[in-house]
Structure 1
Amino acid sequence: MTTSWTTHGVEFLPDTVRKRFRPDADGDPDREWRALTLLDRYAPGLAPRPLSLDGRTVTMSRLPGLPLRGTELTPAHLDALARATDRLLHAVPPEELAALPERRWYVGDSVAAIRRRAALPSLPSLPALPALPALVAGLRWLAGAEASLSAPWAPVLGQADGNLANFLWDGADVRLVDFEDSGRSDRPYELAELVEHLSAWVDTDLDAAAFLGRFTLSPAEQARLLECRRLFALLWLVFLATDPATAARNPPGTTERQAARLLALLDY
């Protein structure tokens, strides 16, 4: 989940990358190192190779390729993005996953943020249409959906950042970077975050149906995927409506477009 600040600085060297975290990064270097180490063991080449962890600095190999964000996504892009995502979500065995902390911005974190921000005095200043009706509808839906959203699911390693800038295309394959929020998650939740991230539609046109159609999901996973998409759409709407920094980073009209996306997912 994108926030209004960064927890690190990045230094690009010819063959390596140094990621220096701030003193208040609160476990981010360990999360990054743990995920990179697991992927180097179980899915080598999918993410940077971890080279060293020195205090708050993670040094890793430098990957080839350019970010998918801001590009015109072709079927070849979607094939490679789906392959990489599927590989990530199947890479780590259950015994390793059991020892992982929950990813940041998992269900409990997201619901708490929505509830906290939805109580802010600034909410009445939302544009009357369509943002406020969408927010009201979303909060009504959340009241009935929270219990099922919080139910346990088969764990996977979650990258915990669906920003398409973190997916590098080298002309044939996609590789992943940025794991500072990573941890234990579930497959529908991770797929939902990717297709509902603002980067999927604000400056990149990710065809969500075409992308998700590249995965085989059970009926139960399909149902959870929709609920998780609704949760992320509501979370983004609340952030756009209450966080000036989030709104300022995006084009005019993004809040209204996000409201329309949420209403569509809620079948309004």
Structure 2
Amino acid sequence: MGGHSIELRSDVVIKRYRSSGYGEPEREWRALELLGEHDPGLAPAPVTAELAADPPTVVMSRLDGTTVSGEIAGKLVDALAEAITGVQRSIPSGVLDRVPARAGHPVHLLSTVREWAAAATPEPATAEALRAATDWVAGPGLEARFAQPGTPVFGTGDGNLSNYLWDGTRVRVVDFEYSGRSDLAFELAEVTEHISVWENDPAGLTAVLDRFELTAEEAARLMECRRLLALYWLLRCRGEIRPAQADRMLALL
């Protein structure tokens, strides 16, 4: 979805947007302002924005830390859980109610995945998983279940592990181009099933997810959202042999 260029300076980051079809500059600036007010330090501080410029530009503070990589264990588990929770929960409900929905929604993703699944040609390494997942995604009532509102949270709209910066003590979060009001299960699924997470550590964010106490309803919705995102990545990466992704898809089913 779109793109941007980044200019790193000693104290600030300048982000110029090549695409704004999803309102990326406005979403980013809104997120920086909201998180700066309600959980300062968790995300870059907003400096200036030229949202009507060509290209639209947002200037934000430069954070310490490096992209999370390697085994997700020890202090990093708690730091990631704290950062994810901070993004999702720090904005008061009365304020969150007025925030536009994030770019992308489970129902929209379901429609995309159904189209991809119908056109996919199975490969031997992934055929069993794709068959089972295609049966699941075509099931009756799935669209209605995804259309139901989940527990409201603020969502980044992007689960890429490279958006989480670790300084050895705290994890901070960057990249809010597709952010907005979302639901807990979909946002947790977005980050736990992102392909970057599983390529980084075979255990993924399993330990991080264990830090979240969910109701039975939230847990059930999370499982369906994880299946949806896992199938999205299985189909998006078709043409590449990814038996681990196929195994994970079968496990989630």
TM-score with structure 2 setting the length: 0.91
The answer on 1:181 being equivalent to 2:181 is no
**Equivalent residues of 2:73, 2:207 under 8 A apart:** no
What SS is found at the alignment partner of 1:105?
coil
**Equivalent residues of 1:52, 1:60 under 8 A apart:** yes
Aligned twin of 2:48: 52
Aligned twin of 2:112: 113
What SS is found at the alignment partner of 1:202?
helix
**Equivalent residues of 2:4, 2:19 under 8 A apart:** no
Cα shift at 1:149:
1.9
Aligned twin of 2:129: 134
Q: Deviations over 1:10-35 (max 9, x none)?
A: 00000000010015544110110111
Cα shift at 1:264:
0.7
Aligned twin of 2:227: 230
1:17-36 correspondence runs (5 A):
17-36=13-32
* 2-structure distance, mates of 1:107, 1:34: 22
Counterparts in 2 of 1:160 and 1:23: CA distance versus 1, 3 Å: closer
Cα shift at 1:207:
4.3
User: Which 10-residue stretch deviates more, 219-228 or 108-117?
Assistant: 108-117
* 2-structure distance, mates of 1:110, 1:71: 29
**Equivalent residues of 2:22, 2:103 under 8 A apart:** no
* 1-structure distance, mates of 2:205, 2:66: 21
AA in 2 matched with 1:238:
L
AA in 1 matched with 2:163:
N
Identity across matched positions, percent: 43
* 1-structure distance, mates of 2:226, 2:128: 18
* 2-structure distance, mates of 1:53, 1:108: 32
User: What is the number of residues matched between the two proteins?
Assistant: 247
* 2-structure distance, mates of 1:61, 1:182: 18
The answer on 1:191 being equivalent to 2:154 is no
What SS is found at the alignment partner of 1:178?
coil
AA in 2 matched with 1:186:
D
**Equivalent residues of 1:32, 1:180 under 8 A apart:** yes
* 2-structure distance, mates of 1:209, 1:71: 14
* 2-structure distance, mates of 1:49, 1:206: 32
* 1-structure distance, mates of 2:224, 2:43: 29
Cα shift at 1:75:
1.5
* 2-structure distance, mates of 1:51, 1:212: 33
Cα shift at 1:73:
2.2
Q: Deviations over 1:105-125 (max 9, x none)?
A: 3202211211232243xx22x
Aligned twin of 1:250: none
**Equivalent residues of 2:29, 2:49 under 8 A apart:** yes
User: Which 10-residue stretch deviates more, 89-98 or 14-23?
Assistant: 89-98
Cα shift at 1:263:
0.7
Aligned twin of 1:7: 3
Aligned twin of 2:249: 262
* 2-structure distance, mates of 1:83, 1:190: 14
* 1-structure distance, mates of 2:75, 2:129: 35
Cα shift at 1:232:
0.5
* 1-structure distance, mates of 2:202, 2:129: 22
* 2-structure distance, mates of 1:20, 1:140: 42
Counterparts in 2 of 1:206 and 1:159: CA distance versus 1, 3 Å: farther
